[in-house]
Chain A
Amino acid sequence: MKFFKKLFINIIIYLFVLLWVFPVLWVVISSFKNGNELFRYPLTFFPSQPTVQNYIDVWNQFDFMTYMSNSAFITIVATVLTILISAMCGFALAKYHYRWLTIVFIMLLCTTMLPSEVIMKPSFTILYHLGLYDSLWGCIIPCIGTMTGVFLMRQFFITVPDEMLDAARIDGASEGKIFTLIMLPICKSQISILTIFSFKWRWNDYIWPLLALRSKNKYTLQLALRVLSGAEAVNWTALLSASVITVIPVLVIFIVFNRQIMNAGLSAGVKG
Chain B
Amino acid sequence: MKKKAIICLLAALMTSLTACGGKSAPSTSAETTANTVSSQTASDTTETKEESIPSGETVTLELLVSDDTLEGGGMAKMVEKFNKEFEDKGIQVEMNEIAHADMDTQIQNRASVGELPALVRHTNFNDYIDYIHPLDGTALSQEDFQINTTRNGIFYSTPINATAVGMLINKTAFDEAGVSYPTTEEDRWTWDEFLAAISEVTAKTDCEYGMVIDYSSQRYSTILYTFGAEFFDPNDHTKVTLRSDETLEGLQFIMDLYTNGYCPVSVGIGSENAQSTFKTGKVAAHWAGNWVLTDYAENITDFEYAVVYAPYERECATSLGGNYLYAFEGTGQEEQAVTFLEWFYKPENYTEYCSYNNYLPSMLGIDPDYSVEGLDIFNAEMNASCEAPGVTSDVNAEHAGETYGEVVKETLAKAFVGELTAEEVLDTIIDTIIQNFSGVSE
A261 at interface (Cβ–Cβ under 8 A)? no
Contacts of A267 on B, CB cut-off 8 Å?
none
A36–B101 Cα gap in the complex (Å)? 26
Which residues 380-423 of B have a CB within 8 angstroms of A?
Answer: none
Contact of A41 among B23, B109, B110, B281 (CB under 8 A): B281
B282 at interface (Cβ–Cβ under 8 A)? yes
A59 at interface (Cβ–Cβ under 8 A)? no
Q: Mask for B305-342, Cβ within 8 A of A = 1, else 0?
A: 00000000000000000000000000000000000000
Q: Would B27 and A227 count as touching, CB distance under 8 A?
A: no
B102 at interface (Cβ–Cβ under 8 A)? yes
Which residues 51-77 of A have a CB within 8 angstroms of B?
Answer: 61, 66, 69-70, 72-73, 76-77
Q: Would B96 and A260 count as touching, CB distance under 8 A?
A: no
A25 at interface (Cβ–Cβ under 8 A)? no
Q: Would A188 and B2 count as touching, CB distance under 8 A?
A: yes
Q: Would A231 and B100 count as touching, CB distance under 8 A?
A: yes
Which residues 212-259 of B have a CB within 8 angstroms of A?
Answer: none
Q: Would B5 and A41 count as touching, CB distance under 8 A?
A: no
Binds B, one of A7-15, A87-95, A207-215: A207-215
> Which bracket fits the contact residues of B?
35 or more
Please give the distance in Å from A243's CB to the nearest CB on chain B. 15
B40 at interface (Cβ–Cβ under 8 A)? no
Please give the distance in Å from B381's CB to the nearest CB on chain A. 17
Q: Would A230 and B299 count as touching, CB distance under 8 A?
A: no
Q: Would A73 and B101 count as touching, CB distance under 8 A?
A: no
Of B26, B109, B110, B275, chain A has the most CB atoms within 10 Å of the CB of: B109
Q: Mask for A219-254, Cβ within 8 A of B = 1, else 0?
A: 000010011111111110100000000000000000
Contacts of B58 on A, CB cut-off 8 Å?
none
Please give the distance in Å from B322's CB to the nearest CB on chain A. 11
Q: Would B16 and A36 count as touching, CB distance under 8 A?
A: no
Of A218, A233, A256, chain B has the most CB atoms within 10 Å of the CB of: A233
Contacts of B99 on A, CB cut-off 8 Å?
223, 226-227, 229-230
B47 at interface (Cβ–Cβ under 8 A)? no
When C-beta atoms are compared, the residue in chain A nearest to B16 turns out to be: A73
Q: Mask for B10-25, Cβ within 8 A of A = 1, else 0?
A: 0011011101100100
Contacts of A61 on B, CB cut-off 8 Å?
69
B440 at interface (Cβ–Cβ under 8 A)? no
Q: Would A230 and B13 count as touching, CB distance under 8 A?
A: no
Contact of B113 among A128, A217, A226 (CB under 8 A): A128
When C-beta atoms are compared, the residue in chain A nearest to B276 turns out to be: A39
- Given contacts A214-B110, A216-B96, A226-B99, is CB(A73)–CB(B19) below 8 Å? yes
Q: Would A73 and B299 count as touching, CB distance under 8 A?
A: no
A178 at interface (Cβ–Cβ under 8 A)? no
Q: Would B97 and A136 count as touching, CB distance under 8 A?
A: no
A39–B272 Cα gap in the complex (Å)? 12
When C-beta atoms are compared, the residue in chain A nearest to B282 turns out to be: A41
Please give the distance in Å from B424's CB to the nearest CB on chain A. 30
Which residues 123-149 of A have a CB within 8 angstroms of B?
Answer: 124, 128, 133-134, 136
Q: Mask for B62-94, Cβ within 8 A of A = 1, else 0?
A: 000011011100000000000000000000001
Q: Would A216 and B97 count as touching, CB distance under 8 A?
A: yes
Which residues 1-51 of B have a CB within 8 angstroms of A?
Answer: 1-2, 5, 9, 12-13, 15-17, 19-20, 23, 26-27
Q: Would B100 and A230 count as touching, CB distance under 8 A?
A: yes
A215–B300 Cα gap in the complex (Å)? 36
Contact of B291 among A40, A66, A128, A232 (CB under 8 A): A232
A50 at interface (Cβ–Cβ under 8 A)? no
Please give the distance in Å from A26's CB to the nearest CB on chain B. 15
Contacts of A216 on B, CB cut-off 8 Å?
94-97
When C-beta atoms are compared, the residue in chain B nearest to A256 turns out to be: B5
Q: Would B17 and A73 count as touching, CB distance under 8 A?
A: yes
Please give the distance in Å from B6's CB to the nearest CB on chain A. 10
When C-beta atoms are compared, the residue in chain A nearest to B96 turns out to be: A216
A23–B298 Cα gap in the complex (Å)? 26
A38 at interface (Cβ–Cβ under 8 A)? yes
B105 at interface (Cβ–Cβ under 8 A)? yes
Q: Would A69 and B67 count as touching, CB distance under 8 A?
A: no
- Given contacts A73-B19, A76-B16, A211-B109, is CB(A227)–CB(B101) below 8 Å? no
Q: Would B115 and A133 count as touching, CB distance under 8 A?
A: yes
Contacts of A232 on B, CB cut-off 8 Å?
289, 291-292
Contacts of B71 on A, CB cut-off 8 Å?
230, 233
Q: Would A40 and B280 count as touching, CB distance under 8 A?
A: yes
Please give the distance in Å from A221's CB to the nearest CB on chain B. 13
When C-beta atoms are compared, the residue in chain A nearest to B295 turns out to be: A233
- Given contacts A36-B301, A226-B101, A233-B70, is CB(A210)–CB(B106) below 8 Å? yes
Q: Would B1 and A230 count as touching, CB distance under 8 A?
A: no
Q: Would B13 and A77 count as touching, CB distance under 8 A?
A: yes
Contacts of A35 on B, CB cut-off 8 Å?
298-299
B186 at interface (Cβ–Cβ under 8 A)? no
B302 at interface (Cβ–Cβ under 8 A)? yes
Please give the distance in Å from A75's CB to the nearest CB on chain B. 9
Contact of A223 among B20, B69, B98, B299 (CB under 8 A): B98
B188 at interface (Cβ–Cβ under 8 A)? no
B148 at interface (Cβ–Cβ under 8 A)? no
A80–B95 Cα gap in the complex (Å)? 34
A216–B96 Cα gap in the complex (Å)? 6
Please give the distance in Å from A240's CB to the nearest CB on chain B. 13
A259 at interface (Cβ–Cβ under 8 A)? yes
A235–B102 Cα gap in the complex (Å)? 17
Q: Would B299 and A39 count as touching, CB distance under 8 A?
A: yes
A-B pairs with lowest CB-CB distance, top 4: A73-B16, A35-B299, A41-B280, A226-B99
Q: List 16 A-B contacts (CB under 8 A).
A: A39-B276, A69-B16, A76-B12, A124-B109, A128-B113, A136-B20, A188-B2, A217-B23, A217-B27, A226-B101, A229-B100, A230-B66, A230-B99, A231-B66, A235-B70, A260-B2
Q: A69-B16, A124-B109, A226-B99 are in contact. List 14 more A-B contacts (CB 8 A).
A: A36-B302, A39-B299, A40-B302, A76-B9, A128-B113, A217-B27, A218-B27, A230-B71, A230-B100, A231-B67, A232-B289, A232-B292, A233-B70, A235-B70
